[in-house]
Amino acid sequence: MDFTLDKKHLMARQLFKDFAEKEVKPLAQEIDETERFPRETVEKMAKAGFMGISIPKEYGGQGCDPLTYVMCIEELAKQCGTTAVIVSAHSSLCADPILMFGTEEQKQKYLPDLAAGRKLGAFGLTEPGAGTDAQGVQTKAVKDEDGNWVINGSKIFITNGKEADVYVIFAQTGTKLDKKGRTQKTFTAFILEKGMPGFTFGTKENKMGIRASATYELVFNDVKVSDAQRLGAEGKGFPIAMHTLDGGRIGIAAQALGLAEGALDRTVAYVKERKQFGRALAQFQNTQFQLADMATKCQAAQYLVYAAANAKATKDRYSVEAAMAKLCAAEVAMEVTTKAVQLHGGYGYMKEYDVERMMRDAKITEIYEGTSEVQRMVISGALLK
CA atoms within 13 A on the CB side of 170: 30
Listed in sequence order, the residues at least 6 apart from 14 whose beta carbon sits closer than 8 Å to its beta carbon are none
Could you tell me the smallest distance in angstroms from the CB atom of residue 277 to other proteins? 29
Distance, CA of 151 to CA of 129 (rounded, Å): 17
Could you tell me the smallest distance in angstroms from the CB atom of residue 258 to other proteins? 16
Nearer to other proteins (CB atom), residue 101 or residue 306: 306
Binding map of other proteins across residues 48-87, x = CB under 8 A, - = no contact: xxx--x---x---xxxx---x---x---------------
* Residue 353 binds to other proteins (criterion: CB under 8 A): no
Nearer to other proteins (CB atom), residue 50 or residue 187: 50
* Residue selected from 5, 15, 116, 295 as contacting other proteins according to rule CB under 8 A: 15
Stretch that binds other proteins, among 3-11, 317-325, 336-344, 370-378 (CB under 8 A): 3-11
Could you tell me the smallest distance in angstroms from the CB atom of residue 48 to other proteins? 4
Could you tell me the smallest distance in angstroms from the CB atom of residue 44 to other proteins? 8
Backbone phi and psi for residue 189, each to the nearest 5 degrees, phi listed first: -90, 145
Query: Distances in Å between the alpha carbon of 280 and those of 186, 269, 290?
Result: 60, 11, 15
Could you tell me the smallest distance in angstroms from the CB atom of residue 71 to other proteins? 9
Query: Distances in Å between the alpha carbon of 380 and those of 241, 247, 326, 377?
Result: 20, 19, 14, 5
| Residues 112 to 171 in contact with other proteins, rule: CB under 8 A | none
* Residue 18 binds to other proteins (criterion: CB under 8 A): yes
Nearer to other proteins (CB atom), residue 15 or residue 367: 15
Other beta carbons within 10 angstroms of residue 241's beta carbon come to 23
Could you tell me the smallest distance in angstroms from the CB atom of residue 64 to other proteins? 5
Could you tell me the smallest distance in angstroms from the CB atom of residue 12 to other proteins? 5
Number of residues that bind other proteins (CB under 8 A): 19
Nearer to other proteins (CB atom), residue 48 or residue 242: 48
369 included as an active-site residue:
yes
Distance, CA of 313 to CA of 309 (rounded, Å): 6
Q: What is the DSSP letter of 130?
A: B
* Residue 198 binds to other proteins (criterion: CB under 8 A): no
Strand pairing report for 279-280 and 275-276:
antiparallel
* Residue selected from 3, 4, 7, 144 as contacting other proteins according to rule CB under 8 A: 7
Which of 351, 257, 368 has its CA nearest to residue 32?
351
| Residues 268 to 327 in contact with other proteins, rule: CB under 8 A | none
Could you tell me the smallest distance in angstroms from the CB atom of residue 15 to other proteins? 5
Which of 322, 143, 168, 293 has its CA nearest to residue 226?
143
Which of 8, 13, 54, 12 has its CA nearest to residue 247?
54
* Catalytic residue from among 33, 104, 369, 373: 369
The amino acid at 161? G
Strands (E), 194-273: 199-204, 216-225, 230-231
Give rounded-to-5 percent helix, strand, coil for the chain: 60, 15, 25
Q: Cα torsion at 313, 332, 379, 308 (round to 10°)?
A: 10
- Indicate the length of the chain as a whole number: 385
Listed in sequence order, the residues at least 6 apart from 297 whose beta carbon sits closer than 8 Å to its beta carbon are 260, 332, 335, 336
Binding map of other proteins across residues 30-49, x = CB under 8 A, - = no contact: -----------------xxx
Binding-site ranges for other proteins (CB under 8 A): 7-8, 11-12, 15, 18-19, 47-50, 53, 57, 61-64, 68, 72
Question: Known catalytic residues?
Answer: 369
